[in-house]
């Protein structure tokens, strides 16, 4: 192999090895099979300070796709999808973690989750006493 | 510079040059600045066959993030964000394209859009006579 070809091969392999893991799931384009091989799971999660989604301005909003692969702007998409699957998609099943420590300060935050989970529409709202309490429920889903 | 160092430098630069454009927007993690430098825009779009979202099973669902950069499983995220910005976020402003040709077959599809657009909640539903008609409205937003 001439030197230039070796260089080219080396650089290509390097790029693949370096980029492959980084590109990962975020670039796996979900596409429904001809007979609907999987049901779509795509959600938007928001959080804002206040008592009720009806009056709260969303301060943060992230997306979470769980089919066919995990992706989205949720900071822990893969773990959040696994957690939701483990809970059978039941957001109320995400309960406070053992050992979580938060103050009792009342500064309520509202989380909303809208979209589709395994082909079924989701429209969910839950209020926590403060942001620390929000993050103490479940492992990753509400931590964004 | 010793040869090994030159190699290392070359490979790093190559990886950066190759991965940079690929990683692009999909990996730009949205993070709200300390004073809220931008309002979040994150949406889930669904489509299904039928007359009304209340009774239709979502067959496809995609996510679309437009702040701070375009990403998501929407097949044309960048263009869809630009189109939504151009319409001021008004989904009803997306009208039929000149020259679009569709049959009059009545096989209605419902599109829903939920989430947040520039910090305001969105809950939208629109029914089209058939899928071709759906794709003839606007340029890219409803084409998924």
Q: How confident is the model at residue A109 (pLDDT cuts 50, 70, 90)?
A: very high
Average pLDDT, chain B: 82
- Which pLDDT value is given to residue A28? 37
Q: Order of strands, edge to edge, in the sheet holding B120-128?
A: B60-65, B42-49, B109-117, B120-128
CB A31 within 8 A of CB B60: no
pLDDT (0 to 100) of residue B111: 98
Question: Residue ranges of the alpha helices (H) in chain B?
Answer: 3-23, 77-86, 131-135
Given an 8 Å threshold on Cβ–Cβ distance, is A27 in contact with B30? no
pLDDT digit string (tens) for A7-66?
Answer: 444 433 333 333 333 333 333 334 444 445 689 999 999 999 999 999 999 999 999 999
Partner-chain contact B46 A11, CB within 8 Å: no
Alpha-carbon distance of B110 to B58, in angstroms, equals 9
- Considering only CB atoms, B115 lies closest to which of A30, A75, A114, namely A114
Name the minimum distance, in Å, from the CA of A22 to any CA of chain B: 8
Of the ranges A11-25, B24-38, B66-80, which is most confident?
B66-80
Q: Are A109 and A130 in contact, with CB atoms under 8 Å apart?
A: yes
CA distance B10 to chain A (A): 9
What is the reported pLDDT for B36?
Answer: 52
Taking contacts as CB-CB distances below 8 angstroms, the residues of chain A near B15 are: 14-15, 18-19
Least confident of A57-61, A75-79, B29-33, B103-107: B29-33
| pLDDT > 90: percent of chain A | 74
pLDDT given for residue B48 in this prediction: 97
pLDDT confidence of residue B8: 44
* List of chain A residues whose C-beta atoms are within 8 Å of the C-beta of residue B73: 29-30, 42, 65, 71
Residue A109 near residue A137, CB atoms below 8 Å:
no
H helix or E strand, kind and range, residue A60 = strand A60-65
Specify the higher pLDDT residue, A1 or B94: B94
Nearest by CB to B58, which of A57, A59, A119? A119
| Per-state percent for chain A, helix, strand, coil, to nearest 5 | 30, 25, 45
Using CB atoms, which residue from A22, A26, A60 is nearest to B32? A60
Interface of A with B (CB under 8 A): 11, 14-15, 18-19, 22-23, 26-27, 29-30, 32, 36, 40-44, 46, 53, 57-65, 71-73, 75, 114-116, 119-121, 123
Domain boundaries, chain A: 3-18+37-136
Q: Evaluate if pTM is beyond 0.80.
A: no
Domain formed by A3-18+37-136, architecture: 2-Layer Sandwich (3.30)
- Residue of B125 and B33 predicted with greater confidence: B125
pLDDT band at B38 (very low <50, low <70, confident <90, very high): confident
pLDDT, one tens digit per residue, over B78-134 is 999 999 999 999 999 999 999 999 999 999 999 999 999 999 999 999 999 999 999
Choose among B11, B40, B44: nearest Cβ to A58. B40
Give the separation between CA B7 and CA A2, rounded to whole angstroms: 18
């Amino acid at each position: 192999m001439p030197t230039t070809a070796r260089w080219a091969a080396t650089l290509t392999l390097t790029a693949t090895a370096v980029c492959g893991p980084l590109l990962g799931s975020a670039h796996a384009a979900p596409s429904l099979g001809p007979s609907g091989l999987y049901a779509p799971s795509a959600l938007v999660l928001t959080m804002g300070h206040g008592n009720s989604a009806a009056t709260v301005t969303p301060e943060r909003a992230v997306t979470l796709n769980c089919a066919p692969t995990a992706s989205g702007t949720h900071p822990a998409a893969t773990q959040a999808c696994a957690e939701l699957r483990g809970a059978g998609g039941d957001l109320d099943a995400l309960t406070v973690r053992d050992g979580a420590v938060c103050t009792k300060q009342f500064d309520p935050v509202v989380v909303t989750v809208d979209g589709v989970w395994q082909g079924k529409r989701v429209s969910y709202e839950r209020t926590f006493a403060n942001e620390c309490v929000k993050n103490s429920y479940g492992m990753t889903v509400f931590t964004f």
